[in-house]
Structure 1
Amino acid sequence: MRIAELAGRRVAIWGFGREGHAVLKALRARLPAQSLTLFCSATEVEAARAFDPALEIVAGEPDAAALGQFDIVVKSPGISAYKPALLAAQAQGTQFTSGTALWFGENPDARVIAVTGTKGKSTTSALTVHLARSLGVRTALAGNIGMPLLELLGQRAELWVIELSSFQTGEAGPVELGVVTSLYEEHLDWHGSRERYVADKLKLADVSRTLLVNGLQANLLQYTAAHPHRLVFGTPEGWHVRDGMICRGAQAVFDSAALAAPGLHNALNACAALAALEAIGMDARTAAPALATFRPLPHRLQPLGEHDGRHWVNDSISTTPLATLAALESLHGRTVTVLVGGHDRGLDWTPFVEAMRNASAHAIVCMGSNGARIAEALRAAGVACPLALVDNLAAAVAEARACTPAAGVILLSPGAPSFDQFKDYAERGRRFSALAGFDSAGIASIDGLGIEGVQRG
């Protein structure tokens, strides 16, 4: 859908976060006379009125009747496409679109690498951009990683690297290359079931001319077997990790120990980025040395440093138990106290519990709304390491500080969303950093968002 198609229609915007702001700015720029209604929370009404005095503002969650008054509703990604009110209005003829879909409608000829995955999509996207820029390519980094596409409306780049969440994969237009880094269980509250989550995630395959997937995941290979132009990374015939080296086939190309982003999974993310560039005809081997200058993204296994004689690692982005396991694996051999728990989406913690039975952390501190459920499962399984159950992050940090020996590691890798205590994972990560004794303002930025050209270094 093009923005021009909204002219003269009854249009509403649903959501007043950063995506909603970007939609409003874009529509006002292209359709200044268009009447617009905003659905937002009661706490956002004053800010929305200041942002755009011409808006008609409706506070609170819209029902089917309210949504049905409009021809087109532009909704933010966090609003589930399976809400009963939305489905009822859709059945009555209301069209639902998004900022992502509108950007693709405006840019049908853009050269796009679209990246999704349960874990690894942000780092893979940022690595791909970093490597492309090292080759002198004017490259854009946008999407779910922290910059809505419509904030870049009207700008030009040689290559667009767009991170898509499972909420957005069905909104993308045709892309030159789709990348799927991993596929686990997540966001069941938005999608409604594991099967629907998988189906929604893999909608990216339907619009990808070429599809690049993690060859180490049997389920992902099975789901994508029918794609006519499928490539894989992680296996010996392509870009993969062997004996600590990032390799292309039999050739060792880069020592993964030189990556500032730790762990095998980040080395695999680097393989995905190199394979992505190769898939679109760029010289991945020439770009590979630039991996050494990549700065890890905040809140993703981010080493904060040493304080009070202990090392602190912020992995607040971790919202699944499997992500927590990956974080612990990256710190293998060290004395680690891990902080787990948060908003309860009903995910299965059995793999985490079983792993802790065999090779547990030094200590586990459970917190948040699902903390008691995790602690109970760990105790029932006979996990041998010390366990603690606390209410919130501040208490969890205090407990971890008390039980972690000097030179040990305190790892925040919750395996759950933050909504029980915080606005988002970034706020949780900043709070953890402050509680640990670090300057939380200094860890928040993601390098390279937007459009840049040569970044040699």
Structure 2
Amino acid sequence: MIASRAWAGRRYAVLGLARSGRATAAALLAAGARVTAWDESENARTALAQQDALDLADPAAVDLTGYDAVLVSPGVPINRHPIAGHARAAGVPVIGDIELFAEARAELPPHRVVGITGTNGKSTTTALVHHILESAGVPSALGGNIGLPILEQQPLPKGGVYVLELSSYQIDLTRSLACDVAVLLNITPDHLDRYAGFDAYAAAKARLFAMQRPGQAAVIGIATEASATVARDVARSGRAEDVTKIAPGVCMDQSRWPALQGPHNAQNALAAIAACEALGIGRAVVDGGLASFTGLPHRMQRLGEVAGVAYVNDSKATNPESTAPALLAFPRIHWIVGGQPKGDDLNACRPGFSNVVRAYTIGEAAAMFETLLMPDMPVERCDTLARAVERAHAEARPGDTVLLSPACASFDQFADYAARGDAFAAAMGALR
């Protein structure tokens, strides 16, 4: 656990007791702080109920006078939750667990921090950087949006590197995290229900660089106009020598990297290479790490082959923008697409349509996507994932790829994208 002596005797409120919230409360209590905690879930509250120095009460309903900070989980929509105004009226800052980590850094053994953000690709890039560091023998810890609360990790020895995946929500709740290497992959419209508009969302991403000091590395993909603007702004702020730009369309031999196929993974790999080189990792070690990386579950995950046909689980692709590069990764695709739609078009996917042999539409979007895709490719409306796998198996030929890249949320038929990906793997397994 990572904790700071500076928190001892202070008073904090913690709102949201999912994994990061529990880790936050535990770290504060271990440091000797007084904590008021709350979650809408009774089960989540009960799990913390018997701890000394802990009060169970809703921070939005108590007098916050005298509190040092309110810690909110990234899932709490502070743009519309009453806690934001309540804390502001009491003069209490609203922060997150990443800010607590930033506060604790002074007491940790000498180390460096890599912070990685972007609309798409940040989990893969975060895991890839961590994998390369481990390959180089550098002590490394994963944390943040990748699902591992950083305060829950053990402090690294001298020379260690903390690799953090950072969502815009986490950056919003952070004030002083000066990353030794900050990475921005791209910015496309997403999560706009949490922001006044796209510009505000892009500005949240850009704050990762505003928290840095001159001389700290800034690795920025410039494939999207919004992220290219961030690169220009950072360079014009007097930090031109700090900026490494990752250009789109760079031709690379990805044949040696089985888990990093497609143009999007070329960009992820380039960003990881730049980040690791900024940390002083030799190119031979980097190349070895790229080749041995096995990828993340549900993110362009190659499950194996059945009768010469490859099956790829890209269930994490929950919007058309994240599905688009997957359609460019393979020459003959049987595309399983659909679920709970986030819009009424698939225009972002159009550049890869020529690679699709046949599409199989599922879920709430099945009928709409069938209509959208019929002018461009053969389509079968399958409704269920199991049926789609059956039909793709019947139609695919050796050398083809059956790709689950839904371009939709999963909540119409599954608990989450992971459950959807697991169901795809099970359906493939049943074909053997």
Q: TM-score, normalised on structure 2?
A: 0.83
Cα RMSD for the two superposed structures: 3.3
How far is the alpha carbon of 1:174 from its aligned partner?
0.8
Question: Does the Cα contact within 8 Å between 1:214 and 1:234 map onto a contact in 2?
Answer: yes
Is 1:214 equivalent to 2:221 in the alignment? yes
Instruction: Give the residue type in structure 1 aligned to 2:164.
Output: I
The answer to whether the aligner puts 1:433 opposite 2:425 as a matched pair is: yes
Query: Is 1:118 matched up with 2:119?
Result: yes
Deviation readout 1:333-377 (Å, 9 max, x if unpaired): 22x22222334444863322x446x52622223333444444444
Aligned counterpart for 1:88 among listed residues 85, 108, 114: 85
CA deviation vs aligned residue, 1:422-443 (integer Å, no higher than 9, x gap): 443223222221222279xxxx
Cα contact 2:84–2:94 (8 A) shared by 1: no
Label 1:134 to 1:370 Cα distance change in 2 as closer, same or farther (>3 A): same
In structure 2, the CA distance between the partners of 1:370 and 1:185, relative to structure 1 (3 Å rule), is farther
Deviation at 1:48, TM superposition (A): 4.8
Distance 1:399 1:301 in 2: 21
Name the counterpart of 2:192: 188
| Structure 1 residues 15 and 422: CA distance shift in structure 2, 3 A | farther
Structure 1 residue 278 and structure 2 residue 277: aligned? yes
Q: Which residue of 2 aligns with 1:444?
A: none
SS of the equivalent of 1:40 reads coil
Give distance in 1, aligned partners of 2:295 and 2:263: 14
**1:383 equivalenced with 2:376 (yes/no):** yes
User: Structure 1 residues 394, 202: closer, same or farther in 2, change over 3 A?
Assistant: farther
SS at match of 2:146: coil
Question: Distance between the aligned counterparts of 2:84 and 2:368, measured in 1?
Answer: 33
Partners of 1:12 and 1:39 within 8 A in 2? no
Mapped to 1, the partners of 2:285 and 2:429 lie a distance apart of 40
* Structure 2 letter corresponding to 1:40: E
Q: Distance in 2 between matches of 1:201 and 1:150?
A: 22
Maintained 8 Å contact 1:320/1:347: no
Contact 1:116 1:163 in 2 (8 A): yes
- Amino acid of the structure 1 residue aligned with 2:185: T
1:289 alignment partner in structure 2:
288
**Normalization by structure 1: what TM-score?**
0.79
Percent identity, please.
Answer: 32
Q: 8 Å contact 1:74–1:98 — kept in the other structure?
A: yes
Name the CA shift for 1:423/1:55 in 2 (closer, same or farther; >3 Å).
farther
> What is the rounded CA distance, in whole Å, between the counterparts of 1:418 and 1:105 in structure 2?
37
Deviation at 1:113, TM superposition (A): 1.4
Residue-by-residue CA offset, 1:65-87 (whole Å, 9 max, x unaligned): 46968933211112223124233
- Could you tell which deviates more after superposition, 315-324 or 190-199? 190-199
Cα distance in 2, alignment partners of residues 422 and 104 from structure 1: 36
Report the Cα distance in structure 2 between the residues aligned to 1:192 and 1:66, rounded to whole angstroms: 28
Q: Does 1:175 align with 2:165?
A: no
2:217 match: secondary structure: strand
Residue-pair matches, total: 412
Mapped to 1, the partners of 2:111 and 2:293 lie a distance apart of 25
Amino acid at match of 1:142: G
Structure with bigger RCO (C-alpha 8 Å, 6+ apart): 1
Of 403, 409, 413, the residue aligned with 1:411 is 403
* Residue 103 of structure 1: aligned partner: 101
SS at match of 1:36: strand
Ranges in structure 2 where 5+ consecutive residues have no aligned partner:
none
Change (3 A) 1:218 1:157: farther
Structure 1 gap segments, 5+ residues each = 246-255, 440-457
C-alpha displacement at 1:39, in angstroms? 1.7
- Judge conservation of contact 1:186–1:347 (CA < 8 Å) in 2: no
